[in-house]
Amino acid sequence: REGDYHFDTISAFIKSVRGSDPDAAIHYLARLIEGGADIQMIGRRLLVMASEDVGMAYPNAITVVTSCVQAALMVGYPEARINLAQAVITMEASPKSNRSYMALTKATSDLRKVETGDVPNHLKDAHYSGAKKRGLGIGYENPHHYGGYVDQQYLPDNIKDRRYYEPTDNGTEASFKRYLESIRESDGK
């Protein structure tokens, strides 16, 4: 139906993908297409959902969705419907996590509400003459020289113990969670 892709249909589409309901997700995709939604509009929503709703639970979703959207843009309608459907089914059938989005939201809130402080001196740029005299870059330990991880402070002093990213046990994110827990345990944090 003409114009049926407006706010309610878009909202139902997003929530159906997020809710892992393949039938509803495809139904609302069809309504968007039949209602006159262009590939760009649908593609933008799909790309956002790949990071916001699937995220770290299946990090490759963004790659699959990007490829599907690019293919849809290349072939155009009516065949683009097939590429868009693949992107939708990939995401609705994927485990979900919005924790990277939530981490950014928390960090942004801190920037607006908390005196976070300055970047620690050992992390500041030291690639110019006079930087060392100012104490910049001194004491930085490159994690690659320590097997990929070294315990050192990265956040500013005022928020040095803040946790923004709190991974779930969903999908691939569970392995990221185990890794972060193991390095935090080795630090005693």
CA distance 9 to 12: 5
State pTM to two decimals. 0.87
pLDDT of the residue at 186 = 80
What are the pLDDT digits (tens) for 106-134? 999 999 999 999 999 999 999 999 999 99
Residues 89 and 98: their CA atoms lie apart, in Å, by 18
Pair 180, 148: CB distance under 8 Å? no
171/59 Cα distance (integer angstroms): 9
CA atoms within 13 A on the CB side of 112: 6
Question: What residues have CB less than 8 Å from 115, skipping those under 6 apart?
Answer: 158
pLDDT tens, residue by residue, 44-75? 999 999 999 999 999 999 999 999 999 999 99
Q: What is the pLDDT of residues 132-148, one digit of tens each?
A: 999 999 999 999 999 99
Whole-number mean pLDDT of the chain?
A: 94
Binned at pLDDT 50, 70 and 90, residue 172 comes out as very high
